[in-house]
Amino acid sequence: MIPSIRTAYNHQFTHQQYQDFLDGMASEAGEAAVFKVAETPVFIPAQLTAQLKQACDEIIAVIMRPDFKELTRDAIPHHLKVPHENDHPHFMVIDFAVCRDDDGTLTPRLIELQGFPSLYAFQELMARQFKTHFSIPDTVDNFFNGFNGDSYFQLLKEVIVGHYQPEEVILLEVKPDEQKTRIDFYYTERKLGIKPVCITELIQEGKKLYYENNGRKIQIRRMYNRVIFDDLHRQQDKLDKHVNLFQDLDVEWITHPNWFYRISKYILPFIHSEYAPKSWFLNELPVIPSDLENYVLKPLFSFAGQGVLIDVTLADIDKITDPENWILQHKVQYAPAIETPEGPAYCEIRMMYVWPDNSPAPLLVHNLARISKSKMIGVTQGQPQRWTGGSCAFFEEAL
């Protein structure tokens, strides 16, 4: 997207550099990524950087409304509510498609958002390895707000580990060693000293939780939560016996599971910004648009694009028996904004926030990018193409 940097990168790229880049990440994390990592980062020009920040500020203003919890009181399915919810999420991410205005100018459009952490450790590793193996100019940066690799991980340590010993904090997931994102778990452990633990390995005694580490039973004070609870609910019958996490437990959550639902597709209809496509709860839709081909239908409770209908028909709407659990959103037209040696590609940019307990507002710290040559970015669709996959962005400073 920054033509001079893009042209130079494409010209200098070699497959050996790319393999060395992949090997460098695997060496540091202890295992290679099992998902496709793109051959290139995304280079964001200053004007688009400014628009992304403005869009995020407008969305954050909604989340910081004094009545936000009341606004989202119905966002959490009753059977998935967890006790001891705190005042704000410790992590949240906001996803944008890169599009073009009518005049051809690049512009962001809100896709989704989550009160949930995703790949916070791995994204730093990826960006640093891009810098190590490719020529990334100093005029662009992967961090925001003055952070660098050291201060970034210091912040993560303060928020996730806090005043506890690392062995008293775990990364909680369902079968972490089988997850596609496990490289992030392993690198998190290397950087912060906290172990990935499966929900089936938790030991409950009264309200306290424990896990075994090298033959020692250790009380868990905090859980860095990577469990998606509606996915956990769907998998209940396939899992071994495990602790009921919906009860009153003497443990701290980072981030508390309820925020996954409060900050989600549920709040799209409440966001009014030039960078946010119009959205409605399906049960509150004043009239069904005559141009349904320009809309996308999204279930509230899904992840990784599951259940999303991108070519909506009246028949699709008629089939829905729980319209209160669906969002109709004006379709976003992705721009083929990234020039690769094998044709143009689309991309999404994820803006990544950390919200420490002592901070009045969330801090924008890092980013994630996804590059694709198909409509559904981030959804597994057979053998991945070259010059597509998970990536990161380097931003020109906003003017």
DSSP structure string for 147-197:
--HHHHHHHHHHHHTTTS-GGGEEEEESSGGGSTTHHHHHHHHHHH-PEEE
Tens-place pLDDT, residues 38-91: 999 999 999 999 999 999 999 999 999 999 999 999 999 888 899 999 999 999
Question: Which residue(s) pair with 369 in the sheet?
Answer: 349, 391
- List the pLDDT tens digit at each of the 399 positions of the chain: 899 999 999 999 999 999 999 999 999 999 999 999 999 999 999 999 999 999 999 999 999 999 999 999 999 988 889 999 999 999 999 999 999 999 999 999 999 999 999 999 999 999 999 999 999 999 999 999 999 999 999 999 999 999 999 999 999 999 999 999 999 999 999 999 999 999 999 999 999 999 999 999 999 999 999 998 877 777 777 787 889 999 999 999 999 999 999 999 999 999 999 999 999 999 999 999 999 999 999 888 765 556 888 889 999 999 999 999 899 999 999 999 999 999 999 999 999 999 999 999 999 999 999 999 985 665 455 567 899 999 999 999 976
Share above pLDDT 90 across residues of the chain, in percent, rounded to a whole number = 87
The domain limits of the chain are: 1-78+90-158+265-276+339-399, 161-254, 278-330
Give the whole-angstrom CA distance, residue 172 versus residue 251. 12
Q: What angle do CA 333, 118, 390 make, to 5 degrees?
A: 55
With contact defined as beta carbons under 8 Å apart, do 207 and 250 qualify?
A: yes
Strands (E), the chain: 42-44, 91-100, 106-114, 140-141, 169-173, 195-198, 203-205, 208-213, 216-219, 222-225, 252-254, 279-281, 295-299, 326-330, 338-340, 343-354, 363-372, 389-391, 393-396
Tokens, residue 211: 């896990």
- If one counts every other C-beta atom within 10 angstroms of the C-beta of residue 17, the result is 15
Average pLDDT, the chain: 93
Question: Which residue(s) pair with 91 in the sheet?
Answer: 354
pLDDT of residue 232: 79
DSSP notation for 110-128: EEEEESS--SHHHHHHHHH
Q: 162: exposed, middle or buried (C-beta count within 10 Å: 0-12, 13-18, 19+)?
A: middle
Give the whole-angstrom CA distance, residue 273 versus residue 46. 20
Fold held by 161-254: Rossmann fold (3.40.50)
With contact defined as beta carbons under 8 Å apart, do 362 and 53 qualify?
A: no
Closest CA to 355 of 365, 346, 347: 365
Closest CA to 38 of 21, 55, 51, 52: 21
Tokens, residue 48: 């688009």
